[in-house]
Homo-oligomer: A and B are copies of this chain.
Amino acid sequence: MPPARSGPNLSRIATSLGVSVATVSNALSGKGRVSEQLAERIREHAAEMGYVPSQAARALRTGRSGVIGLVLPDIANPLFPKLAQAIEFAATSAGYGVLIADSRGNITAQTEAINRLVERGVEGLVIVPRRATRISAASCPVAVIDTASTPGNTVAADHWQGGRDIADHLAELGHKRILVIGNNPESNVQNDRVGGIRSGLRPDMQSSTLWVERLERENGMGCTLGLAEKVREGYTAFAALSDLQALRALTELQRDGIVVPDMASVTGFDDLIFSPVITPSLTTVAMDMATIADVAISSLLKTIQASGSREGVLVSADTDRVPMQLIVRQSSGPADPARIDPTKLDLTSQTENS
């Protein structure tokens, strides 16, 4: 037995008004030919009956579900809120719903997640790939948000330029020795960021890179990064490739009595939720998530409309990369080698700075 019918539907409206369902449909969609008066009457009546169209029926008939899938394969990525919010907003504005799927880590789980979404009838996918994962196109258009150097990437923040901005900023502040702190050298995003930073260094500046995951593999998770030692070696700036690493660096430095930014500068990437509220607030480089999401969604939808049936296309957009924006806060300041001398530690309370 089919479930008890509940809500009003086209035919209910139609009989109740003494017209045909087709007319009601036409009136509500504004497509066929219906006199303006009748259309108006129908719309009113539909509204007061609380009519809400059945997406299922519509999807069945038109073959378009009005839903796209969002695949987030990085476990609990702290960028997730902003991204999901931006994608959801862009999609909603375009009249689409967003189904999420999170394949925790695991590549096979990623494939499964994609399949699940496809089975649910998504018209397209937005995928933020797990690092170094190549997306083997599913059976529907796929937009990839990663970084410009990833093959098949649709749109992404210009991580390279963001890196250059950081380098420029640190150069202007007079820093000569910079330690780049990354998580994993296999991340395309992080590599682009490092590349950008290096490309922005002046001839008299030098940098080296610390990969945290590698260090943790030797010394255990959550081990100290030994940054105070680096300060003693003459590093005056720590450029983390993510705010998470920056935060880790910052707290470790502070804990070891290094005042930021007086004695060392710290910068990050992504402008995560905590970045503006810590002390000192974090100088970082932010993605324009709204624009990225807009570009991704709009080009995805364009591709969907173009490709009649469900082919597995990788979507490409006009705008390949979206500029990142440097946000200068309190954690970066002029390099002042004099202060590195441990005897000059100035630790009087600074509570009252605004």
A121 touches B56 (CB 8 A): yes
User: A274 contacts which of B64, B274, B309 (Cβ < 8 Å)?
Assistant: B274
Task: Give chain A's interface secondary structure class.
Answer: loop
Select which of B62, B277, B309 is within 8 A of A244 by beta carbon: B277
Q: Does A89 contact B (CB under 8 A)?
A: yes
Q: Does A134 interact with chain B (Cβ within 8 Å)?
A: no
Q: Which residues of B contact A8 (CB under 8 A)?
A: none
Return the chain B residue nearest A91 by Cβ: B100
CB neighbours of A276 from chain B (8 A): 221-222
A280, B247: Cα distance in complex, Å: 11
Question: Assuming the A-B contacts A228-B351, A308-B4, A351-B228, are A85 and B104 also in contact, with contact meaning beta carbons closer than 8 angstroms in the complex?
Answer: yes
CB-based nearest B residue for A255: B279
Interface size on A, residues (CB 8 A): 89
Interface string of A278-318 (1 = CB under 8 A from B): 11110000000000000000000000000011100000000
B351 in contact with A224 (CB, 8 Å): yes
For residue A221, which residue of chain B has the nearest CB? B276
Given A257-B347, A276-B222, A99 contacting B102 (CB threshold 8 A): no
A131 within 8 A of B: no
A81–B65 Cα distance when bound, in Å, is: 26
Q: Are B85 and A97 closer than 8 Å at their CB atoms?
A: no
Return chain B residues, CB-CB under 8 Å to A75. 85
The residue from B88, B121, B279 contacting A252, defined by CB atoms under 8 A apart: B279
Q: Which segment of A112-120, A154-162, A171-179, A320-328 sits at the interface?
A: A112-120
Q: How far is the CA of A82 from the CA of B254 in the complex (A)?
A: 29
A4 to B64, CA, bound (A): 12
What is the bound-complex CA distance between A229 and B350, given in angstroms?
10
Chain B residue nearest to A58 in the complex (CB): B56
**Interface 9-mer from A25-33, A47-55, A145-153, A200-208:** A47-55
A308 to B2, CA, bound (A): 11
Asked if A101 CB lies within 8 Å of chain B CBs, one says yes
A37 within 8 A of B: no
What are 11 sample pairs from A and B whose C-beta atoms fall under 8 A apart?
Answer: A3-B63, A6-B309, A55-B119, A81-B81, A222-B276, A223-B354, A224-B354, A228-B349, A247-B274, A251-B278, A252-B279
CB-based closest 10 A-B pairs:
A254-B254, A56-B59, A252-B279, A76-B81, A56-B60, A251-B278, A3-B63, A228-B351, A6-B309, A257-B347
